[in-house]
Amino acid sequence: MIAPEFALASACTAALGCWRNDLGCAMRLRGLGKPFTQAGLDNALRIMGLDPAADLPRLWAIVAVESRGFGFLADRRPQILFERHVFSRQTGKRFDQAAPGISSETPGGYVGREGEYDRLERAIGLLAAKGEPPEAALASASWGLGQVMGFNFKSAGCDSATELVERHLDEEDQHLAAMAGFVAEHKLAGALRQGDWAAVARAYNGKDFARNQYDLKLKQNFEKFSEGAIRDLTIRTAQAALLYLGFGKGMGDVDGVLGDGTKRAIRAWRAHAGLAESDRLDGPDYTQLMAAAGF
C-alpha cells in the first residue's frame, strides 16, 4: 500500500526517474520494467473471465492496439498518454486558461512517448504550486501495456491513482492485472468472446471510438494473432533487455518474434559483451543478458 503522502524519497534518485515537488514529496516513475510472464498472462485471462488456453489472441489484440504490445519505454518508464480533458475535469477547470495545452475541455495536445511525461510533469507542477499532491495529474494519464486510465484505479484493485502508478513501474504482470480488472469491471468477457469489438472499443475509448477506427484495429489484430503467429515470451523478454541496454535501434517492436532486427540486436549485444558472433542466445548467454538488464 502506498502512503498518501508519497513518502518515497529514500528510493528516489535522478537515475530512477523521479519527480519532486515544492512540498518535498517524491515519487519514483521508473522501475525495473520487467516483461510479462506466462503466469501473468494466465492470471489476467482468468480475471477477465476468459480461457487461458483459448482466448489469448483476444488479450494480445487489446495490448497491440493500446501500446503496440509493450508497456515500457526504452528508459523503463511505463508508456503513458496524458489526457488534458481529464485533467481539466479532475481539477474543476482551474488551469484551463493558464495552461490549455495540458488542461482543456477538449482532448488533444498529444506529443507521444517520452514527451507525454513532460506534459504530466507540467500538470504535477501546477498542482504543487497550489500546495496539492499529484493525484489529479496521475489520474489523468493512461498507463502501461493496457493504457488503463489513472482514475480507474479501483478496477485495478488500488486505493488511488498513485498506487496504480506505483504498481506499473516494475513489471508488466501488474499492467495485465490492471487491464484485466478494467475488463472484468465492465463485463466485457462476453463481448470479447463474441467478437463484439465495438462494445470493447466503446468501453475503452468512449462513444467516439469509431473516429480512430479503434474497433477495426482490435478486429484486425485479433485475426492476426488468431492465425497462429508465434509469440515467444523468452524472445520477448530478450528484446526488452536489448532495448533497455541500448541495442533497440532498428530492432522493431518488443513482440516475441525473432526477426531480422532482433537478430541484429543480439549480434550487437554479443559483440559488446565479448561473446562469440551469433544471432542466437543459448542458456548461459541468455542468463548473462538477463543479468545485464537486471531481470
Confidence (pLDDT) at 125: 96
Q: What is the mean pLDDT of each run of 10 residues along the chain (295 residues)?
A: 32 42 57 97 96 93 95 97 98 98 96 95 96 97 97 96 96 98 95 95 89 94 85 96 96 95 98 97 96 96
Cα gap 105→102, rounded to integer Å: 10
Helix, strand, coil percentages for the chain (3-state, nearest 5): 50, 5, 40
The whole model's pTM is what?
Answer: 0.89
Q: What one-character DSSP code corresponds to residue 14?
A: G
Domain boundaries, the chain: 233-293
Quote the cell numbers at residue 294: 537486471
Number of other residues whose CB lies within 10 A of the CB of residue 198: 16
Cα gap 92→209, rounded to integer Å: 25
Q: What one-character DSSP code corresponds to residue 174?
A: H
pLDDT tens by residue, 181-221: 999 999 999 999 999 999 999 998 888 898 889 999 999 99
Confidence (pLDDT) at 206: 86
Confidence (pLDDT) at 53: 85
Alpha helices, DSSP H, located in the chain: 38-48, 56-67, 84-90, 114-129, 135-139, 161-167, 172-185, 189-194, 197-205, 214-226, 233-244, 260-273, 283-293
Cα gap 273→58, rounded to integer Å: 38
Nearest to 103 by CA among 111, 92, 114: 92
Confidence (pLDDT) at 13: 34
**Residues 168/178, Cβ–Cβ less than 8 Å:** yes
